[in-house]
Amino acid sequence: MNRIEIIGNTEHKIIHSDAIIALNDKIADESIDLIFADPPYNIGKNFAGCKDKWETDDAYLEWCYEWLNLCIKKLKPSGAFYVMTSTQFMPYFDIFCRKNLQYYLD
């Protein structure tokens, strides 16, 4: 997905896009109140012609860490961050977020 669809107004909006493109190009740092992320789970299911599987688990986690870092950078200090993931990758996400969201957890 290379297109960006923005629904809403200047105060409240939903951005439907490739997360890395939108987070890099369209969103100011520390400007988001709520991030709800439901990325592909890397479990091999086919969704509308898109296969949800990376070549390796490390490649998947590298991709996840890229967009997770961008989310953290864009989130307001008072913001909330909800991430959906598979049970297989939940421990990796948990460790990454606890390590990188330390500023917000103190």
What pLDDT is recorded for position 103?
Answer: 61
Q: Is residue 39 a contact partner of residue 64, using CB atoms and an 8 Å limit?
A: yes
Using alpha carbons only, give the angle 69, 60, 95 rounded to the nearest 5 degrees. 50
What pLDDT is recorded for position 37?
Answer: 92
**pLDDT tens profile 13-63:** 888 888 898 899 888 999 999 999 999 999 888 877 777 899 999 999 999
Q: Is residue 81 a contact partner of residue 98, using CB atoms and an 8 Å limit?
A: no
pLDDT at 106 > cutoff 70? no
Of the candidates 92, 100, 41, the one whose C-alpha atom is nearest the C-alpha of residue 72 is: 100
Residue 77 host element (H or E): strand 75-83
Average pLDDT over residues 70-92: 93
Q: Three-state SS for 97?
A: helix
